[in-house]
Amino acid sequence: MKKLIASLAAAATFAMLASSATAQTYPDKTITMIVPFAAGGPTDTVTRLVAESMSKDLGQQVIVENVGGAGGTLGAARVAEADPDGYTLLLHHIGMATSATLYRKLAYDTLNAFDYVGLVTEVPMTIVTRKDFEPTDLKGLIDYVKANKDKVTLANAGIGAASHLCGMMFMNAIQTQFVTVPYKGTGPAMTDLLGGQVDIMCDQTTNTTKQIQGGTIKAYAVTSPARLDVLPNIPTTEEAGLPNFQVGIWHGIYAPKGTSPEVLDKLSKSLQKALKDENVIARFAELGTKPSSEADATPAALKAKLESEVARWKPVIEAAGQYAD
């Protein structure tokens, strides 16, 4: 018995030493940050800015890999299954919380398959259409959609995506369902909106601001409580006639469950530095958003956010009664 206890204690000490030795040398090779959407979209844009800054701080490349499809759940599943060694991370958004209810079956257990690095940013959404779409304001858009519900199309990045959530909120608010066209991300969806192949989209300002400013798409409202400095002429949803239609798309960085606390701490500190990087702050501002605070860029804050958001959206999604299998 004594022997067994001694060898268990030795094994535990060895595991602890091995983990702190790994943490001391971490990172000693390239880190992969998975974006669960296609390249060129808003999540991709945010991730590339943060990854570039973290690469400089960590002294190792943080490369971005796009694993789009199924509203972000394929990319999340990839990270849930990866080795918890700190070399495969996930940058996901609010969809991490909504897909926990939207999907009857997920390949991972949302609240138990991940460790947390921290929150990154919260981005408003914009309701936009192709440039030559007739309606001139949100009220006109709502009337048009109601009158043409069989022919208007809404682009989204699949069930579980922020664009899906916003589209679902829009349809429920105006009590009209219309056709959705799913993409692997709103990067490719934006290409089709610009080309006039789809009519409407609700997407993060990190994807739409430049296009709205350039007049290549039309914007009807922002989903933030106040107007944005970068889009001063675009009314809030509240001003434009859709009260209670506010949504902020928070983003966070996750690691597979079982990642050592020392590694998570290193990553979280590096994230905090990236969010104070002048280039990141300036680029975020141009895109209508700002970095999360240092207190929010922590494992505890992201864990609390995910848990509260799963609970917040569950009844909303259940009331809408729309699920994916």
Residues engaged in binding ligand ASP (CB under 6 A): 37-38, 41-44, 95, 156-157, 161-163, 185-187, 203-204
Cis check for the bond before 27: say yes or no (omega within 30 of 0). yes
Compute the least distance from the CB of residue 190 to ligand ASP, in Å.
Answer: 9
- Cβ-closest position to ligand ASP: 41
Compute the least distance from the CB of residue 80 to ligand ASP, in Å.
Answer: 19
Q: Which is nearer to ligand ASP, 71 or 291 (CB)?
A: 71
Instruction: Supply the angle between the helices 95-102 and 299-320 in degrees, to the nearest 10.
Output: 40
Compute the least distance from the CB of residue 41 to ligand ASP, in Å.
Answer: 3
Compute the least distance from the CB of residue 264 to ligand ASP, in Å.
Answer: 24
Q: Which is nearer to ligand ASP, 184 or 266 (CB)?
A: 184
Structure tokens that stand for 243 in this block: 């009260």
Compute the least distance from the CB of residue 67 to ligand ASP, in Å.
Answer: 12
Compute the least distance from the CB of residue 212 to ligand ASP, in Å.
Answer: 15
Closest Cα partner for 220 from 285, 128, 142?
128
Q: Which is nearer to ligand ASP, 66 or 260 (CB)?
A: 66
Q: Which is nearer to ligand ASP, 27 or 42 (CB)?
A: 42
Q: Which is nearer to ligand ASP, 41 or 288 (CB)?
A: 41
Q: Which is nearer to ligand ASP, 110 or 163 (CB)?
A: 163
- DSSP collapsed to 3 states, the chain: CHHHHHHHHHHHHHHHHHHHHHHHHCCCCCEEEEECCCCCCHHHHHHHHHHHHHHHHHCCCEEEEECCCHHHHHHHHHHHHCCCCCCEEEEEECHHHHHHHHECCCCCCCCCCEEEEEEEEEEEEEEEEECCCCCCCHHHHHHHHHHCCCCCEEEECCCCCHHHHHHHHHHHHHCCCCEEEECCCHHHHHHHHHHCCCCEEEEEHHHHHHHHHHCCEEEEEECCCCCECCECCCCEHHHHCCCCCCCEEEEEEEEECCCCHHHHHHHHHHHHHHCCCHHHHHHHHHCCCCECCCCCCCHHHHHHHHHHHHHHHHHHHHHHCCCEC
Q: Which is nearer to ligand ASP, 193 or 264 (CB)?
A: 193
Compute the least distance from the CB of residue 156 to ligand ASP, in Å.
Answer: 6
Compute the least distance from the CB of residue 143 to ligand ASP, in Å.
Answer: 25
Amino acid at 222: V
Taking the CA atoms of residue 88, residue 93, residue 97 and residue 99 in that order, the dihedral angle to the nearest 10 degrees is: -80
Q: Which is nearer to ligand ASP, 26 or 37 (CB)?
A: 37
